Structure 1
Amino acid sequence: MLPANPQARRSRLKIFNAVVCVVGVMVSVYAYVVETRAEEDPKYAPMCDLSPNVSCTKAFNSEYGKGMGLLQRFVGNESVLVQPNSVYGIIFYITVLICGTFDGSGWDKLHFFLCILSNITSVYLAYILYFILYDLCVVCVTTYVCNALLLIGSWYRPSAVVAKPKAP
């Protein structure tokens, strides 16, 4: 439960944000390592490949594993913008970690916006994972959980959702 004192609540939310972001970065780095090793060595079997239908490499190596399956349509496969999804995850979690350390309405709103955007992306990728690839990627689902937790934490930031009333 969050404390009633706004300063104590903000302090706990900052710690929560930092922990979830660090987990997100670690999971994204693991995903990047797995994806690059799997590209280099087709016989590589990572820990996250548990069965044919529970496989992270199936998701990472799919057409949706880079650029979220969208960027290629706009900028081509060879563009520097088309990176493994894990790279976007690393950038996202570091950005949200930084936003979460600052106080102020603008930072809170940016944090909240980024968390909403990441959850929309998670729903899109989860749909692809389940209904198109017929796969369960433990690493992917872990990032979806991190994104949901960040959104919940962002919702409780004092000035993220509603503006504070001004004194008369």
Structure 2
Amino acid sequence: MCFLFLCLIGAGLSVYAYHVETTKEKDNSYRAACDINEQMSCSKVFTSRYGRGFGILEHVVGKKSPLNQPNSVFGLVFYALQTILGLQRTSSAAFMQVILAVMANMGSVYLAYILYFVLNDVCVVCVSTYVVNFLLLLTCINKYSILKNQVSIKKKV
């Protein structure tokens, strides 16, 4: 249950980030609720070059490529995959969840570095997403451990 709650929170944060980014791109005077001051501005982060394709994809596939989506779109895909896999009660699905959660946390560490050291910003939505991703990783590891132990117990019996 905690797992689904975290996926919903993560998806909600991703939807909000997408809304802020797309609204700010259309209306430069838009001020998001998460824009607290000059050093704490989520719209500044979301509209930066790192807000799309992690600042990397534009160099690989081109700035106008359909693959160079806002990071929030990748977040929504991640939380959807986690939810779908989470509905499965197999150790292989749980293992896939762990792998995806590890990748998401690696992305979080990378984006946190960019956020703080490159953009010199603190984005409340971003940091909240990093926390959700870390907690999701812990729940995925726990679920995988439980399912793996159940399989090994069944094999012994």
Q: How high is the TM-score relative to the length of structure 1?
A: 0.87
Residue 160 of structure 1 and its aligned partner are, at CA, apart by 6.1
**Tell me, what secondary structure is at the counterpart of 1:50?**
strand
Alignment of 1:11-22 (within 5 A): 15-22=1-8
CA contact under 8 A between 1:119 and 1:144: conserved in structure 2?
yes
Alignment of 1:51-66 (within 5 A): 51-66=37-52
Deviations 1:45-87 (A, max 9, x none): 0100000000001111111000001111110111100000000
Alignment of 1:40-59 (within 5 A): 40-59=26-45
Instruction: Give the distance between the partners of 2:119 and 2:17, measured in 1 at CA.
Output: 17
Output the amino acid matched with 2:6.
V
Q: Which residue of 2 aligns with 1:167?
A: 156
Question: Structure 2: which 5+ residue stretches go unaligned?
Answer: none
The answer to whether structure 1 residue 136 and structure 2 residue 136 are counterparts is no
**Tell me, what secondary structure is at the counterpart of 1:45?**
coil
The answer to whether structure 1 residue 89 and structure 2 residue 58 are counterparts is no
Tell me how large the CA RMSD over aligned residues is: 1.6
Instruction: Give the distance between the partners of 2:108 and 2:140, measured in 1 at CA.
Output: 16
CA contact under 8 A between 1:24 and 1:143: conserved in structure 2?
yes
Question: Structure 1: which 5+ residue stretches go unaligned?
Answer: 1-14
Deviations 1:5-55 (A, max 9, x none): xxxxxxxxxx11100000111110000001000000000001000000000
Moved over 2 A (4+): 163-166
Residue 134 of structure 1 and its aligned partner are, at CA, apart by 0.4
Greater percentage in helix = 2
Q: State percent identity of aligned pairs.
A: 44
Which of the residues 91, 98, 102 maps onto 1:116?
102
